[in-house]
Amino acid sequence: MKETPIKNYIKYLFGVAILVFVLNKYDLKPWVLANDARDALAIFVFSIPNLVEAIVGTLIITGILFQTKDYFKARFGHIKDIYIHVLAVSMASIYVLMQELKFHNLGGNNIYDPYDVLASIVGLVFTFSMIQWVGFKKFND
């Protein structure tokens, strides 16, 4: 099966999001815990995983949907990119927000925090805006 051509900025965004997650987990979070930070920095650091989860989840789902559209071109080729973007962010939001609201616990030991919900929403809106504004695929058929 032919690979769907993805714009370079999507690849960079994905890589940077994963890098931020790793740096947060192994550098920032231990530092915040060791220094007993209880201000906006602590809230931000503890909410980064939710922001990254929303970004990465939306990008992965968007890629899967475009790959599916390309594979089944005869049946789904007429679907506009905006519908793919909306479906992807909707599916990601269902997973991310339902996890935060304790409908499921697939992400691990989760504690409800309104700042985590806010970070998830920011990640979803940011990613949707980026793929709408700049696009996802290198070229549209």
Domain-located, residue 138: no
**Count, residues in the chain:** 141
Domain range for 125 is 8-133
Report the Cα 75 to chain-centroid distance in Å: 28
Domain-located, residue 141: no
Domain-located, residue 99: yes
- pTM greater than the 0.85 cutoff: yes
Domain-located, residue 1: no
Adjacent-strand bridge partners of 137: 6
Q: What is the pLDDT of residue 104?
A: 64
Residue 109 sits at the vertex; the CA angle it makes with 107 and 111, to the nearest 5 degrees, is: 105
Sign of CA dihedral 22, 28, 32, 38: negative
Instruction: Write the burial class of residue 104 (CB in 10 Å: 0-12 exposed, 13-18 middle, 19+ buried).
Output: exposed
What values do phi and psi take at 115, rounded to 5?
A: -70, -30
Domain-located, residue 93: yes
Provide the mean pLDDT of the chain: 89
**Which residues of the chain fall below pLDDT 70?**
1, 103-109, 140-141
Domain-located, residue 140: no
Domain-located, residue 127: yes
Q: What is the pLDDT of residue 1?
A: 64
- Nearest Cα residue to 94 out of 65, 120, 129: 120
Domain-located, residue 63: yes
Q: Compute the distance between CA of residue 133 and CA of residue 44 in angstroms, rounded to an integer.
A: 26
> Are the beta carbons of 56 and 14 closer than 8 angstroms?
yes
Q: What is the pLDDT of residue 106?
A: 62
pLDDT tens digits for range 106-131? 656 677 789 999 999 999 999 999 99
Adjacent-strand bridge partners of 6: 137
Domain count for the chain: 1
